[in-house]
Chains A and B, each alone.
Chain A
């Protein structure tokens, strides 16, 4: 009976209590997007890559085109920097969250 109770810390005090399934599912710290790591926000197909490794890019420069749900999504750079690594080429199918390109 006693091992189902866990510790919960509230305002400096520790309480013995049960935890819920939803409490277990919560994200401790929600992810914050890093503008230097370009991820696929939707699964789809890479239609074109406009840059190559070593290119310097400015904010707003076209990086690649990701086709999903019959829409061609232009992926633009949100930051200034140099293209460090490109993980995809035109014709590649990507899943959601896949890292497409890194800038430094």
Chain B
């Protein structure tokens, strides 16, 4: 055979693989509003940058008639490419091939590209669209899942790991995304659950649709399993492309710097917070008022939104933001917001991203449901994550910083490098009403006019303690600053802390309360 004939033969073989599960299966995939695995990859990566590997991998299953079946690429597409010039390793399950079911060779392709990502020190992106384990392969299929989870764990904190759920992802399969750093879902396309609606109906007699049980909205608003919600696959890819610009390739690098831009004019920092400490405002306006180009990339926008987390840049450098949101549940800490904050703080610490914390919270959410759900052990995660973090930690107290909430939100006592407070800050054990009711209980009760006395005592407490000066007198805050100075102080603090080194005792690893 001549070279030409061999090349021709190769092209024919390649064409068969590239056609995936065949025209009919592809048509069905598209009719569900989904793209094919290769289209997804090419839409997400820089044009022309995708290079596919392991195209001719074949399964080895000899049971249940599988020996006569050819599964192109064994139902998964793997390779390397770039996003805005950043190198990435990527895999996408191909639902048109045997429902994207995970057999042993399918899993081997995934673990191989994961190992590759670790060696190269680049992010790994996994696009999930699979009916689950390939039942014909039995325990070999389970082995495949396990080996993926093991690598997810080893890669955690070394390279960024991104999961994109673009189809079903059920049973054991959900645990790979759950171990990764960021999970993206798309409305009406993504479905995640451990036990499906059928099982729930048989066992509990409760009827629930797939969408209501584990659709994109549920994962983003209720369970917190997914970080980013999109209306379409296209929007989802835009979100991933943006995320990649904020994070470094691996834990030995810093995120890319961008040309500095001033915040946009419309965010006037002095006009955001209302006079009364009990009136709400949108904390994201404060974040935008100090961020380059007022660009704040929020993570977990819909879940536990009483606390806001995300990335922005200050003078071109990526920073991780953690902030109480007075707009929602008065900005309290609770079970979900503690989990949300703690995991994000650990991500930033692992990937050399300085942390900026904005504080305005009345404390923890009271309630039987919170206590029963373990707000104590969940809340402890925030203390752990902040204390453990060695990246530059800058805290700005805007208004209320009461009680345990004050300590938890990256106080000086948990090792903050810089703590600044606005003149509106109130750093105290609790709000004036609660404090006055306790301290002056007898005087209020024995007074001829308890309501008047109570008001007078609340005012007395407010005048004396609802300010930043007592904390400043103890050196717990470094400077009281006017709101307009906030960005300058941040720029300065980030620049003087840019080579910060903080040693921690040698240990295999800590034991955080998770």
Contacts and interface: CB of A to CB of B under 8 A. Distances in A.
B363 A11 contact: yes
Interface residues of B, number: 37
Interface residues of A, number: 28
Given A20-B328, A26-B367, A11 B362 contact: yes
Given A15-B278, A16-B278, 5 more contacts: A11-B363, A11-B402, A11-B434, A26-B367, A43-B205
Nearest to B403: A11
Interface stretch (A27-35, A51-59, A75-83): A27-35
A95 B204 CA distance: 9
B192 to A, nearest CB: 17
B280 A17 contact: yes
Contact of B368 (A8, A13, A28): A28
Contacts, number: 89
Nearest to B201: A43
Contacts of A9: 366
A42 to B, nearest CB: 7
B369 interface: yes
Interface of B: 202-206, 221-222, 278-280, 305-306, 326-332, 336, 362-363, 365-369, 372, 402-403, 430-435, 437
Nearest to B221: A21
A13 B362 contact: yes
Task: Give the residue among A15, A42, A96 with the most B Cβ atoms within 10 A.
Answer: A15
Contact of A8 (B204, B279, B330, B403): B330
A5 interface: yes
Contact of A19 (B326, B329, B363): B329
A9 B222 CA distance: 23
B209 to A, nearest CB: 17
A11 B329 contact: no
A52 B336 CA distance: 48
A39 B435 CA distance: 45
Which 10 interchain pairs have the tightest Cβ spacing? A12-B434, A43-B205, A15-B330, A13-B431, A11-B434, A12-B433, A10-B362, A17-B330, A26-B369, A13-B433
